[in-house]
Amino acid sequence: MTKLSCNCGFTVENADRYKVEAAMWHHAIHDHADMLKTMTVDMLEEWLKNKDKQLASA
């Protein structure tokens, strides 16, 4: 089972890692759009690397 969590407490869990990542992106876009707009490419890259580490350890 793959699981990702957002700092706000939102958590998604599923056997399919792509569904988990898609659900997390959906959450981020809908609930944190203003924050995402302020992030630089480097910040987004780090966020993606951290989520990849979470997915790899699940």
pLDDT, tens only, 1-21: 999 999 999 999 999 999 999
Q: What per-residue confidence (pLDDT) applies to 52?
A: 85
When computed from its CA atoms, the radius of gyration of the chain, rounded to whole angstroms, is 11
At residue 13, the 3 state secondary structure works out as: strand
pLDDT for the residue 58 = 60
pLDDT tens digits, residue range 35-53? 999 999 999 999 889 888 8
Q: At what angle do helices 17-31 and 41-57 cross, to 10 degrees?
A: 140
CB 35 within 8 A of CB 25: no
Q: How many domains does the chain have?
A: 1
Tokens coding 29:
């876009």
pTM given for the model: 0.79
- CA 52, CA 58: separation in Å to the nearest integer? 10
- pLDDT of 23 > 90? The answer is yes
pLDDT at 57 over 80: no
Residue range of the domain that includes 38: 2-57
